[in-house]
Structure 1
Amino acid sequence: MKFQTILVTAICSAAMSAACAQPVWQDFSITGLHGDDYKVGPEKRDVITLEYAAGLTWGDAFFFIDHSRYNQTDEKDNYFELAPRLSLSYVTGQKLSYGPIRDVYLASTWESGSDFDNYVYGIGFGLTIPYFKYADINLYRANNETTKDDWMTTVTYGVPLTVAGQDFLFDGFADWSSKESDHAAELNWTSQWKWNAGKLISPNTRLYLGIEYSYWINKFGIRNVDEKNVSALVKYHF
């Protein structure tokens, strides 16, 4: 087994064992999406996404699973990612912060679909930026099962807004991966624009309505396959 696979497995194992520990904070949500302009496969899809994020004494962890149903064929599939990060401030006992950098992490992700498992490892940075609820950047090397290994960068962010007493949230991620001999470089910028309609029910209810926009250049590394898909969104945080 390669060193990077051992590293990712060790961090993922730590994340799973930490599920029994009391998190510093945690968030669980379910999202329903409907889009009509997906690329690679059926254009029309319904997607249910379960997400869990947690801050832990030793770092943080994020997990999601997408359950997709294809309207034209009645087919369905699942895809998930588990992304734990180990805080180097926690490991060293020293606060590793400078300027906008809040902390430095050993970062990893396990990506799994119906016919592949990719293991991604690298270094991550937690950022403190004015007006942002959160911002992170991870720099990775990907150990891919079905394509050549490549380099990746992932940026995640969330920006809350209040307009006329109503709460909005603009959040999402951008994934970039490098060109290799068997695939093109790709960029996937997926963002959500949503309004917290739950505030009309009670101050602490988070029920979001909005849209998700996926702008994906060279989807899955396939040259000139570009996705520009808008999906209707409903998201509830427990």
Structure 2
Amino acid sequence: MSRNFISIASLVLLGFTTSNVSAEQYWSDASLTYLNGSQYEVGDPDRQVLTFEYVAGYDWGKLFSFADRLESSDGFKETYIEISPEYYIAEFENSWIKNFSVSGTAEVGDGFTNYLYGLGVAFDVPGFDFLELDAYKRNNDGLPNNYQLTASWGARFVIADTQWLYDGFIDYASGISGVGPANLNFTSQLKLDLAPYFNIDSPLYIGVEYVYWRNKFYIDGVNEHNPNLLVKWHF
């Protein structure tokens, strides 16, 4: 494990502690996800991914973060984390718009750190737990800067007394001159909650994640179609 990753992880934990001390926390959620897929592009196609995810709501806005640990069948290992705070600048009641926010994201991988900043809007749409749209300026590490548009959603529904969740995101990043064309990452998860069958309070999901990534990593013509088996436990 690199010193950079240890330092970054320490800063993340410090940020969580500081947020809890200096602001009122309304809610929080933590989860672990296991993914297994065999159609990854760029590198070995067979990979397992373990993801720790933490999200919390505060009086100032929301914090979303996750850490991925990827292990390929050829022995290659990689760690990737994102930290995404949203600071609410306007909130609405009895409106189809919930809030406007100033949004930011730090993308931290092995050997690079990208910083994104921009504006976001959250919508109040019947049938959705959340539906958000963010527009970012990307400050890329080692590459020219560009722009990104991100949509994210989550919707719970019931089929014959079974509880389901469909959530995901779409990232569209503009092309970079001299590097590659625009890329589109559509990632969604369809999950069945098994918690009622085991008499546990927190959700325990099993399902499928599907990734369609056009021009992955700005590589022209590299298009990923990647289903993964998924297990996710909230605690």
Q: TM-score scaled by structure 1?
A: 0.88
Aligned to 1:112: 108
Residue 168 of structure 2: aligned partner: 172
Q: Which residue of 1 aligns with 2:72?
A: 70
Partner of 2:6: none
Q: 1:200 aligns with which of 192, 197, 200?
A: 197
Q: Do structure 1's residue 88 and structure 2's residue 89 form an aligned pair? A: yes
- CA deviations on 1:163-191 (whole Å, 9 max, x unpaired) are 11110000011100001202210000000
2:180, 2:17 → 1: CA distance? 33
| Aligned partner letter, 2:181 | A
For the residues of structure 1 that align with 2:17 and 2:94, how far apart are their CA atoms? 30
Equivalent pair of 1:48/1:67 in contact (CA under 8 Å): yes
Give 1:222-237 correspondences, 5 Å limit: 222-237=219-234
Partners of 1:217 and 1:34 lie apart in 2 by 20
State the alpha-carbon separation in 2 of the partners of residues 96 and 168 from structure 1.
Answer: 29
Matched residue, 1:154: 150
The CA RMSD measured in Å over matched residues stands at 1.8
Instruction: Please give the residue correspondences for 1:2-13 in structure 2 after superposition, counting only pairs within 5 Å.
Output: none
Q: Is the 8 A contact 1:131 1:160 kept in 2?
A: yes
What residue number does 1:10 align with?
Answer: none
Q: Is residue 81–residue 112 contact of structure 1 (8 Å, CA) maintained in 2? A: yes
Question: Aligned to 1:18, what secondary structure does the other structure show?
Answer: helix
Give the Cα–Cα distance (whole angstroms) in 2 for the partners of residues 209 and 114 of structure 1.
Answer: 29
Q: Are positions 1:17 and 2:18 aligned together?
A: yes
Quote the offset at 1:115 in angstroms: 1.1
What is the DSSP-based 3-state SS (H/G/I as helix, E as strand, rest coil) of the residue aligned with 2:45?
A: coil
SS for the counterpart of 1:51 is: strand
Shift of residue 83 of structure 1? 0.1
8 A Cα contact 1:97 1:104, kept in partner: no
**Is the CA contact 1:190–1:213 (under 8 Å) kept in the aligned structure 2?**
yes
Residues 103 and 14 of structure 1: is their aligned pair in 2 closer, same or farther, counting only changes over 3 Å? Answer: farther
Give the Cα separation in 2 of the matches to 1:136 and 1:19: 24
- After TM superposition, the structure 1 stretch with the greater mean CA deviation from structure 2, 21-30 or 52-61, is 21-30
Residue 123 in 1 paired to residue 119 in 2? yes
Letter in 1 for 2:136: Y
* Aligned-pair CA distance for 1:77: 1.0
Deviations 1:114-136 (A, max 9, x none): 01100000001111111001111
Query: How much has 1:97 moved relative to structure 2?
Result: 6.4
Match of 1:138 in 2: 134
Q: Distance between the aligned counterparts of 2:173 and 2:181, measured in 1?
A: 9
Deviation, 1:150, is: 0.6
- Percent of aligned pairs with the same amino acid: 35
**What SS does the corresponding residue of 1:199 show, helix, strand or coil?**
helix
Runs of 5+ in structure 1 lacking a partner?
A: 1-12, 90-94
Structure 1 pair 224–183 and aligned structure 2 pair: CA distance change class (3 A): same
Letter in 1 for 2:164: F
Following superposition, the deviation at residue 14 of structure 1 comes to 7.0
- Give the corresponding residue for 2:212: 215
Give me the whole-angstrom Cα distance separating, in 2, the residues matched to 1:162 and 1:115.
43
Matched, 1:37 2:33: no
Which consecutive residues of structure 2, in runs of 5 or more, have no partner in the other structure?
A: 1-13
TM (norm. structure 2) is: 0.89
- Which residue of structure 1 aligns with residue 55 of structure 2? 53
1:17 Cα deviation from its structure 2 partner = 2.4
